[in-house]
Structure 1
């Protein structure tokens, strides 16, 4: 959290801090949306257990791996922006962080294979999704590519990781992952790109010093804030237009109604002072975005 202080000594709590449990929630939710869009989920004990296992894969394991990996490669910039974090504060040795990264990704891939075998998949779509997600997380954080150095590529990779990838895993587990679903969720991830930009405002100074081209560094705080909110609103609106095109009109109206409060909070908080109000904006507006994702999943499942 902003303004936190170093001081935690319990190694297991530090490990959990590195995995950032708060970030698991949207990925777990993405699995729910994918299961809904598949049209194949039923409220049987087996399907509930399958979905819970897929949530374990997407949240604690793969998101935990991603977050730990990111903190490992961001230790220099965090020493400037957030020196209280576990790695720059020296609360955990680098060797233990490396071991945690390896254990989480291996466990995640193992659970993905288990899910494909459980579902009887001949082509292992959940495993392929997990492999792609693990690779994307690596090139996002690690040199030489380090996608996060580029504000556009890095934030889109982050948005897709939080929306498209868990959605694909949940959908593939209970149905056939079609090109239509993949393209729609990748478009939805452009709204996620906007959400990812919000996270860049807290580290503008460190990004500038280390040459990371985040959007607030590239365009300035005010312009980047407008880019952020326009991405969030326009691409949710594009999904609503698609729902109208397939005659899922009720779902489209509900999605539009969920976009409206996001616009209100953008005006109230984010656009007025993105550096001070980024966390307040996320807490206020993001519940409406994730509810909209479920509405879209249900619409596609019913179609």
Structure 2
């Protein structure tokens, strides 16, 4: 939910650029934010509906796995929030927003639903493809074009938008791989062959850290070679250098034999994700 909130606000402000934050922009932001958060609840809820047996091992505190909520309540919450999100998107009259919501739901169903040819989370490449399609492509393009359309500006892909898409592509791959590392025990028991189950925790962990460091190095190079004003290049270079150093130091402190330590590092990666989205509106 925090990631969705940050990304929608960040990309919407990036679409504004140097334009004033008018009432029309505020309405467009609310039109995007409300259904995006509802759809987030729907997709996560759908995943929990089909993952009760796995979550009883990996995450017994979740409402369905713990028995706090019945399966019927879980299905009702997922269905109602998904329906409300689609209705809000349709009422907004924004085709980029509606396409983003519908596409996210379709991939969420394919990712979680235990039906023939679905439940793509069992396959590392398909699982990663679902997450990066939403986080790196749909979110960036959908909410950027939604804001542009709401304000009556042409839907032109800008260099800052391309940068955000490229950087979040790496981040989405890492999140897709990293999220399975603390859940190896339950996934192995349920026969879910994630990359962490197949290759081992340590290898996947350092693959994730390496991918993020490559993303930060690429961001630094892109900033140095940019034609933006000098202060923007300096600020972006310093920010990504600091994030890369902090990530490496945090990774070195992680105990590969302690699932809670790995989970804490995973949550730290999400904080870096939030930080990047807080910075993106300043790109020029």
TM-score using structure 1 length:
0.78
1:12-47 per-position Cα deviation (integer Å, ceiling 9, x unaligned):
xxxxxxxxxxxx001111112211321356322332
Cα 1:239–1:131 change in 2 (3 A) is: farther
In 2 relative to 1, CA 274–53 (structure 1 residues): closer, same or farther, beyond 3 Å? Answer: farther
Q: Please name the residue that 2:211 is paired with.
A: 231
Structure-2 residue corresponding to 1:296? 280
Cα distance between partner residues in 1 of 2:278 and 2:89:
23
Q: Name which of 141, 146, 164 aligns with 1:168.
A: 141
Structure 1 range deviating more: 91-100 or 102-111: 91-100
Q: 2:250 aligns with which of 265, 281, 285?
A: 265
| Aligned ranges 1:142-221 → 2 under 5 Å | 142-143=113-114, 144-175=117-148, 176=155, 178=157, 181=161, 185=165, 188-221=168-201
1:61-210 equivalence runs, <5 A: 61-115=38-92, 117=93, 121=94, 124-143=95-114, 144-175=117-148, 176=155, 178=157, 181=161, 185=165, 188-210=168-190
| Corresponding residue pairs, total | 269
Q: Does the CA contact (< 8 Å) of 1:27 and 1:163 recur in 2?
A: no
Partner of 1:250: 234
Distance 1:244 1:130, change over 3 A: farther
Distance in structure 2 (CA, Å) of the matches to 1:274 and 1:189: 28
Separation in structure 2 between the aligned mates of residue 284 and residue 89 of structure 1, nearest angstrom = 26
1:107 shift after superposition: 0.8
Unpaired segments of 5 or more residues in structure 1?
1-23
Task: Indicate the larger mover: 214-223 or 166-175.
Answer: 166-175
Q: Which residue of 2 aligns with 1:278?
A: 262
- Partner of residue 152, structure 2: none
Deviation for aligned residue 1:208: 0.9
* Unaligned segments of structure 2, at least 5 residues: 149-154
Q: 1:31 to 1:113 in 2, by over 3 A?
A: same
Partner SS, residue 70 of structure 1: helix
Counterpart check, 1:29 vs 2:19: no
Classify the secondary structure of the residue corresponding to 1:213. Answer: coil
